[in-house]
Amino acid sequence: MYFHVRMDVAIPPELDPRQRDELVAREKKYSQELQRAGKWPHIWRIVGEYANFSVFDVESTDELHTLLSGLPLFPHMKIHVTPLATHPSDIAAH
């Protein structure tokens, strides 16, 4: 199942800079593990924002929720999920 996910990040400005750096490093490691595993095949930065558009390829909504809530930055994110379906005009789908 494919899902389009928008993630907007808002790290509290009062967070200690060392804690922030450690948190961002853990986020990068976790997200790259998911990418290597094929669960997170696409990620794009949204220009001018601390946000991204991503596509996840997972077995269920429960799996997606588990992966997203496992993100170290999850407590500092606003996330919007859109389920995706094959488009009948997609030449790659036939």
pLDDT in tens, 47-77: 999 999 999 999 999 999 999 999 999 999 9
d(CA 48, CA 37): 29
At residue 94, does pLDDT exceed 80?
no
Could you report the per-residue pLDDT of 3-51, keeping only the tens digit for each? 999 999 999 999 999 999 999 999 999 999 999 999 999 999 999 999 9
The HSE-up count of residue 49 (CA atoms within 13 Å, CB side) is 13
Q: Does 2-86 carry CATH code 3.30.70.1060?
A: yes
**Which residues, including other chains, have CB under 8 Å from residue 46's CB and lie 6 or more apart?**
6, 52, 53
Domain ranges for the chain, please list them. Answer: 2-86
H or E stretch including 77?
strand 77-84
